[in-house]
């Protein structure tokens, strides 16, 4: 019975997630490109990111997400540009989402910072895994339920997203709209119950660095808000940084979790970070959410020695 209840709950969660579509990473500040295409190349380096997230660990069929991305900046004459490529795999319940994102951004100097505009071209495959279905024997259950396809099914669609980002040395703010085409995915021709719509999502994101008299310390504040114009969610984070090498902090998800974060730069350009989400909702009986980020930032310059810059969001 427990397996049946868990499957139903995760099925409903997966259905809602098709609408919301975008998993919100706790450490979103380490890779703004995930939610705003205008962030491509914003630190004028080549950046490689890898993220693993296990949400509601310990529950059968709970979401597991992998995200691998690379972006780079380049100049054409006196203009600044950025490009990016990312691969995204998210499995939850009976469903698996696999995305490829291509992005481009153009940056223009305004005041103390740069205003960037960019766009995503997204290709998503939605898969349905019949091996994860728990069949039960009951007078109220039929193995011929049209809501559950009898064989593995998938659908492929293209989508678009746009965004704007203004970034200075001490703060940034951005807005982006994803899933603009709102494509419909169909996993079976026999039932409308297996058709899902990817709804349009709006993201607002921002951050601010607070400096102290002692230049070794900084407090980095950030926030992200996401809505599909029906529901909304958001995260606020505060990280205390030492020597631009070590940091730790707290955050809160408005949908019910306290976030604990720690990170370190172990080599020039190489970052390892971890966060733990402690649920405060009814899912507190899970092992929480675990997220690991690995990233590396570098320049290719044959004329002189490579210089390191922080890959942090500012």
pLDDT digits (tens, 9 = 90+) for 119-177: 999 999 988 766 666 666 666 666 665 555 655 678 899 999 999 999 999 999 999 99
User: Residue 217 has which token pair?
Assistant: 């310390």
pLDDT of residue 144: 62
Q: Does a structural domain hold residue 23?
A: yes
How many distinct structural domains can be found in the chain? 1
Question: 43 or 4, which is more confident?
Answer: 43
Residues 6+ apart with CB under 8 A from 151: 130
Residue 211, CA distances (Å) to 163, 241, 245, 251, 254 in order: 28, 10, 15, 19, 27
Q: Does a structural domain hold residue 56?
A: yes
Short-list 230, 208, 234, CA closest to 221: 208
Tell me the β-bridge partners of 91: 64, 96
Return phi, psi of residue 217, to 5°: -115, 145
Residue 89 burial by CB count (10 A; 0-12/13-18/19+): exposed, middle or buried?
middle
pLDDT of residue 2: 39
Residue holding tokens 């259905």? 15
pLDDT tens digits, 181-233: 999 888 765 555 556 788 999 999 999 999 999 999 999 999 999 999 999 99
305: helix, coil or strand? Answer: coil
Residue holding tokens 């690379």? 70
In angstroms, what is the C-alpha Rg of the chain? 21
Q: Does a structural domain hold residue 267?
A: no
Domain limits at 190?
2-206
Short-list 287, 181, 234, 294, CA closest to 24: 234
Q: Does a structural domain hold residue 166?
A: yes
pLDDT of residue 18: 40
CA separation for the pair 216, 181 (Å, rounded)? 46
Residues counted in the chain: 314
Q: Is the pLDDT of residue 282 over 70?
A: no
Q: Does a structural domain hold residue 243?
A: no
């Amino acid at each position: 019975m427990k397996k049946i209840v868990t499957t139903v709950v995760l099925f409903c969660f997966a259905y809602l997630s098709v609408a919301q579509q975008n998993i919100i990473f706790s450490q979103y500040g380490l890779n703004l490109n995930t939610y705003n295409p205008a962030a491509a190349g914003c630190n004028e380096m080549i950046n490689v990111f890898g993220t693993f997230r296990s949400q509601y660990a310990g529950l059968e069929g709970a979401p597991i997400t992998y995200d691998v991305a690379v972006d780079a900046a380049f100049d054409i004459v006196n203009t600044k540009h950025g490009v990016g490529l990312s691969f995204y795999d998210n499995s939850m319940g009976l469903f698996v989402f696999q995305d490829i994102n291509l992005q481009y951004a153009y940056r223009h100097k305004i005041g103390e910072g740069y205003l960037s505009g960019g766009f995503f071209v997204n290709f998503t495959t939605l898969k349905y895994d019949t091996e994860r279905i728990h069949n039960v024997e009951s007078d109220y259950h039929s193995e011929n339920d049209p809501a559950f396809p009898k064989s593995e099914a998938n659908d492929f669609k293209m989508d678009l997203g746009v965004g704007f980002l203004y970034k200075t040395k001490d703060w940034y703010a951005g807005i982006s709209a994803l899933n603009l085409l709102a494509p419909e995915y169909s996993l079976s021709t026999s039932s409308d119950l297996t058709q899902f719509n990817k709804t349009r999502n709006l993201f607002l994101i921002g951050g601010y660095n607070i400096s102290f008299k002692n230049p070794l310390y900084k407090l980095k504040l950030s926030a992200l808000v996401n809505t599909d114009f029906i529901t909304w969610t958001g995260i606020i984070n505060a990280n205390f940084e030492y020597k631009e090498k070590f940091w730790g902090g707290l955050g809160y998800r408005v949908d019910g979790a306290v976030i604990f974060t720690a990170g370190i730069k172990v080599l020039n350009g190489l970052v390892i970070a971890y966060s733990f989400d402690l649920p405060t909702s009814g899912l507190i009986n899970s092992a929480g959410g675990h997220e690991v980020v690995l990233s590396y930032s570098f320049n290719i310059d044959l004329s002189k020695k490579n210089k390191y810059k922080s890959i942090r969001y500012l």
